[in-house]
Chain A
Amino acid sequence: MKQFLHDRLPLDGMMAHLRKPLPKHINLLFSLGSLALFLLLLQAATGAFLAMSYSPSPDHAHNAVTYISEEMPFGSFVRGLHHWGASALVIIVFLHILRVVLYGSYKAPRELTWVVGVLLFLVTLGFGFTGYLLPWDEKAYWATVVGVEIAGTAPVLGEVVAKVLRGGAEVGAVTLSRFYALHTIWLPWLAFGLVGAHLFLVRYYGSSGLPKNTPEEMNTGKPFFPDQVFEDVVGMFILFVVLACAALFAEVPLEKVADPTNANYDPRPEWYFLFLFQLLKYFQGPFEIIGTFIIPTVGMLLLLFLPFLDRSERKVLWKRPIALTVTTVCVVAIVGLTILGATAPKLDSQEEVPPTEEVQQVTSPDTQTPDSEDEEDVFEFNLTEEEIDAAKEVGEEAQ
């Protein structure tokens, strides 16, 4: 068999290519790319199996996810791997990007490798955004409502984009179907095309190594195969053990089925979008678009075109004060906003009284009645009277 393949495939050439030496100075952070690829494949594998028992319709999606989690053998484990794997993928890709920035690995001639990598980062976030609608629970519904509305604030084409994403005027059956198609067909095709291009470019230009490598040291390190591959595989094993433990012992959240009238629910996105959620609080009135569109778009464009903006050849970090400052500010801002968003007080402990009730029909089969007239629709809010009065004064002055 080996001879059969050997006679028909250029195995010697492939192995020689894989055995090419890496730069002399390299460290464990150079395994982050391999770990990201591993997680992407793990997501593809678990997602493919989850899709076999899932139905993308508002009537069935939540039940299907409940069925997977509670009744299918290993269903909870597979869903757990997929759920925690998504978070791990975002973290690993973020760290991978950070490593590339700090070591100046995006610089010439690796500009295209960087651009394709940033596009992969966006695709990863796209997977996250389209994926968490699928369970069709409260979090799924409201996070998607807010997320699509954010897209809708973009100038000129915003409302068109929002309608195309939703497949109509509001989040519903068509939205779920669209997001499912994006999550399981469009984005995977895009991701694997980009991964192919990224890997080709990484192998074509070789590893950038640590900034301290001299040109002579770029091809004098250990071979990629089997030395580096072994380290990568060990990293994958450790990561898989962590994910498996999370899947076994940490409960994967599944809230109540989505209810568009449940005002007692405090919508919050997944943790990796919390910084954006928190950012939106600081831009008010006509400045709303700064938080919803301008900062995210400019930030992404700057990230995408970083190699063309920073054209110096210096790679050592302390000789790149601007890069160091900007990176530090961005990381502190993202982490800080995420923590603020995660710890912001919620209102759901202060529910409306009485809680939302199902409507009763009295005048005709289509006629509704108000909630109980004997009770006041009152709930407590966590702002003080003084804060509300101060806010009103500011509003009146603005008018």
Chain B
Amino acid sequence: MSNEGRRSFLQIASACIGGIIGLAAGIPLIGFAISPAWKKEESQWVDLGLVDRLKNSRFKKVNYTFTAKDGWVKATKKRSVYVTDVGNGEWDVFSRTCSHLGCLVRWNESQESFLCPCHGAVFDKNGAVVAGPPPEPLQKLDVKVEAGVLYVKET
């Protein structure tokens, strides 16, 4: 083999070995970094309180806490929702998270609207967008009543 051919082989071989090392290290590292993207979110039912105490509520603000894993931490998370007793054992529980960019909306009784302090979004009492940038209505959370306690589904 000529010197030129030998050097050409060495160049290609060096590049191949470097590529193998890069892939062998890079794939796990990238997978490590982006793994939260495909991590399955767990849901749980969280109790909001006794139905008796929430009876006849109209957009009642309820703060609650629940325990969930946040990475390596078992964290106590805080949430806030608006609860309405719509009668016949039915409940409307609205998330306070604006469907635009995640700020917390506020219920305004006189205007019967949810208002977002960030970009001026306005939602009606059914959670539908009436003004501002949100592309989707306010999220209505899944609820159930068991043993006189109102539960909301948390993800």
Contacts and interface: CB of A to CB of B under 8 A. Distances in A.
Interface of A: 57-58, 142, 145-146, 149-150, 159-160, 163-164, 166-169, 172-174, 177, 259-263, 265-267, 277, 280-281, 283-286, 288, 291-292, 346-348, 352, 356-359, 362-364, 366-371, 373, 376-381, 383, 385, 388, 391-392, 394-396, 399
A146 B135 contact: no
B24 to A, nearest CB: 21
Interface stretch (B1-9, B10-18, B122-130): B122-130
A48 B71 CA distance: 26
A392 B124 contact: yes
B101 interface: yes
Contact of A283 (B78, B118, B133): B133
B103 A288 contact: no
Contact of A260 (B36, B54, B77): B77
A174 B69 CA distance: 10
Given A169-B41, A280-B101, 15 more contacts: A174-B36, A174-B71, A262-B104, A263-B106, A283-B133, A285-B133, A285-B135, A288-B135, A358-B63, A366-B47, A370-B62, A378-B107, A383-B111, A383-B122, A388-B111
Contact of A394 (B61, B79, B96, B131): B131
B120 A364 contact: no
A168 B39 contact: yes
A272 to B, nearest CB: 17
Contact of A261 (B63, B103, B105): B63
Q: Interface on chain A toward B: helix, strand, loop, or mixed SS?
A: loop
Interface in B79-130: 79-80, 83, 96, 100-111, 113, 115, 117-120, 122, 124, 128-130
Contacts of A383: 111, 115, 122
B47 to A, nearest CB: 4
Given A260-B79, A370-B83, A376-B109, A146 B63 contact: no
A169 B155 contact: yes
A357 to B, nearest CB: 7
A263 B96 contact: yes
A347 B117 contact: yes
Contact of B117 (A57, A168, A173, A346): A346
Contact of B133 (A163, A288, A359, A395): A288
Nearest to B120: A281
A201 to B, nearest CB: 26
Interface string B28-43: 0000011011010100
A283 B121 CA distance: 11
10 contacts: A167-B36, A285-B129, A356-B63, A368-B47, A370-B54, A378-B109, A381-B106, A388-B113, A392-B130, A394-B131
Interface residues of B, number: 64
Contacts of A388: 111, 113, 122, 131
A368 B108 contact: no
Interface of B: 33-34, 36-37, 39, 41, 46-50, 53-54, 57, 59-66, 70-73, 75, 77-80, 83, 96, 100-111, 113, 115, 117-120, 122, 124, 128-135, 148-149, 155
Contacts of B60: 370-371, 373, 377
Given A263-B80, A378-B108, A164 B63 contact: no
A359 B61 contact: no
A378 B110 contact: yes
B133 A369 contact: no
Given A160-B34, A169-B41, A356-B63, A367 B109 contact: no
Contacts of B124: 392, 395
A172 B36 CA distance: 13
B53 A288 contact: no
A164 B35 CA distance: 7
Contacts of A267: 103, 117-118
Given A164-B33, A288-B135, A366 B70 contact: no
Contacts of B111: 381, 383, 385, 388
